[in-house]
Amino acid sequence: MGESESGGTGESAADVRAQLWARIAALDVSVPYAAAADLAAKVEAIRRIAHAHGLTPAVTVTHFIERVLARSETPPPVHGWLAMLTEAVASERQDYEAADRFALACSARLAG
C-alpha cells in the first residue's frame, strides 16, 4: 500500500491489517514530534484504507480520534486512542454492531 490508499487491489485481509497496524505504530511514535493537523492527516489516511476494506469499527474509532485532534493545536495524549484503533482493526467482527460497541467505548473515553 505504501503511502497511497488501497482498495480492491487483491490484498488479503491480513495484509491490510498488517499495513494498518504499521501505520498506527508509526503514528504513535510520531505523536510527540508532530502537529495535531499532521496527525489528523495520517489518521484520515488510515480511515480511508479501513473504509475501503470494510473495517467498520476502525473507521468509527478514527472519527473519534479526528475529533480529539481537532480540539487541540498541540497533540493531545492519543496513545490510548491508538490502542483502541489497533483493537478495532484486529476485531474479528467488522459489522455495524461491532462499530457501535467501539463508538460506545470511544464516547465513554471522551466523557471520562
Contact 42, 84 (CB under 8 A): no
Instruction: To the nearest 10°, report the CA torsion of 39, 40, 44, 45.
Output: -20
Indicate the length of the chain as a whole number.
112
Give the gyration radius of the chain's Cα atoms: 13
Residue 22: CB atoms within 10 A of its CB come to 11
- pLDDT at 19 > cutoff 90: yes
Q: What letters, b where the CB count within 10 A reaches 16 and e where it falls short, cover 45-82?
A: bbbbbbebbebbbbbbbbebbbebbeeeeebeebeebb
pLDDT digits (tens, 9 = 90+) for 22-77: 999 999 999 988 888 899 999 999 999 999 999 999 999 999 999 998 887 676 78
Is the pTM higher than 0.85? The answer reads: yes
pLDDT digits (tens, 9 = 90+) for 74-107: 767 889 999 999 999 999 999 999 999 999 999 9
